[in-house]
């Protein structure tokens, strides 16, 4: 039976966390840099615990004006420090709430940079290892970031996206390009199902690209995020796909 984890970026102030949490299996919680603060971290952790959802850290660049989506010139050592500091901050809050952090997923521009830059990817992996060798890292499926993390001994969840288009090399289409986002929920649901069930995704040039789908990202800041999450769950249930958090697999 195919199996996949449904993850969502939460604690970012989008206002839909309470409705989304029961629909997912893993939550990536903003750690106070690109969004959130100690109070929103605590509230989101508690919400995840109430619904039995796996808790993950979602560290990003401290660039709230651009929501962490602007790529910054940064040395690997600085990346290592920011990922470790933000992850430890969430670990402390989760522990006080009676929970634990099980995974780390970089946010936005940091995620994309780590997906293609080996030095940045190693810095992210080293930071995660410093916070606990038991932690998993969520990384773009088949990317440099995933390979570097595995080489460092981390358990890696290869991540796919329902609402993003793909290039022929398996990378995501840059958000600066037209058609980077799939705005039709039906098309996004079909893409999600195919990635999980068939292990393939249709690239923008029409080619079929092999892809490993351990976890699927559902963005929590879209206008129809809750409705789309429900649709994705129905799509997977009809296809006989088991939904389970990656860190429990």
Could you list the beta-strand ranges (E) of 88-154.
101-104, 136-140
Pairing of strands 3-10, 242-243: parallel
Whether residue 176 is predicted with pLDDT greater than 90 in this model: the reply is no
Lowest mean pLDDT segment, chosen from 98-102, 136-140, 215-219: 215-219
pLDDT tens for 144-167 read 999 999 999 999 999 999 999 999
CA distances from 99 to 16, 50, 209 (A): 22, 11, 38
Q: Is residue 47 very low, low, confident or very high in pLDDT (cuts 50, 70, 90)?
A: very high
The pLDDT of 81-86, averaged and rounded, is: 98
Whether residue 249 is predicted with pLDDT greater than 70 in this model: the reply is no
Residue with the larger pLDDT of the pair 129 and 221: 129
The pTM of the full predicted model, rounded to 2 decimals, is 0.96
The pLDDT of 117-127, averaged and rounded, is: 98
Q: Where are the domains of the chain?
A: 3-248
Q: Which fold has domain 3-248?
A: TIM Barrel (3.20.20)
Q: Is residue 178 very low, low, confident or very high in pLDDT (cuts 50, 70, 90)?
A: confident
Tell me what percent of the chain is helix, strand and coil, each rounded to the nearest 5.
45, 20, 35
The pLDDT of 76-94, averaged and rounded, is: 98
pLDDT tens for 217-243 read 998 777 789 999 999 999 999 999 999
Average model confidence (pLDDT) for the chain? 96
Q: To the nearest whole percent, how much of the chain has pLDDT over 70?
A: 100
CA distances from 196 to 68, 136, 151 (A): 28, 20, 24
pLDDT of residue 193: 97
Q: Is residue 134 very low, low, confident or very high in pLDDT (cuts 50, 70, 90)?
A: very high
Whether residue 121 is predicted with pLDDT greater than 70 in this model: the reply is yes
Residue with the larger pLDDT of the pair 84 and 68: 84
């Amino acid at each position: 039976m195919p199996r996949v984890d449904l993850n969502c970026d939460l604690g970012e102030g989008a206002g839909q966390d309470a409705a989304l949490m029961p629909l997912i299996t893993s939550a990536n919680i903003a750690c106070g840099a690109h969004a959130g603060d100690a109070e929103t971290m605590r509230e989101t952790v508690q919400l995840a615990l109430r619904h039995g959802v796996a808790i993950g850290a979602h560290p990003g660049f401290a660039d709230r004006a651009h929501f962490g989506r602007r790529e910054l010139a940064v040395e690997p050592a600085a990346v290592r420090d920011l990922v470790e500091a933000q992850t430890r901050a969430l670990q402390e809050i989760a522990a006080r709430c009676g929970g634990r952090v099980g995974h780390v997923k970089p946010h936005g521009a940091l995620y994309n940079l780590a997906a293609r830059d080996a030095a940045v990817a190693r810095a992210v992996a080293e930071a995660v290892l410093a916070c606990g060798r038991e932690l998993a890292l969520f990384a773009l499926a088949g990317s440099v970031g995933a390979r570097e993390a595995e080489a460092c001994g981390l358990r890696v969840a290869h991540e796919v996206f329902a609402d993003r288009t793909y290039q022929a090399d398996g990378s995501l289409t840059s958000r600066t390009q037209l058609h980077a986002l799939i705005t039709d929920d039906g098309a996004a649901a079909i893409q999600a199902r195919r990635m999980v069930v068939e292990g393939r995704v249709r690239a923008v040039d029409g080619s079929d690209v092999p892809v490993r789908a351990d976890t699927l990202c559902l963005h929590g800041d879209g206008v129809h995020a809750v409705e789309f999450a429900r649709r994705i769950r129905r799509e997977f249930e009809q296809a006989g796909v088991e939904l389970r958090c990656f860190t429990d697999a």
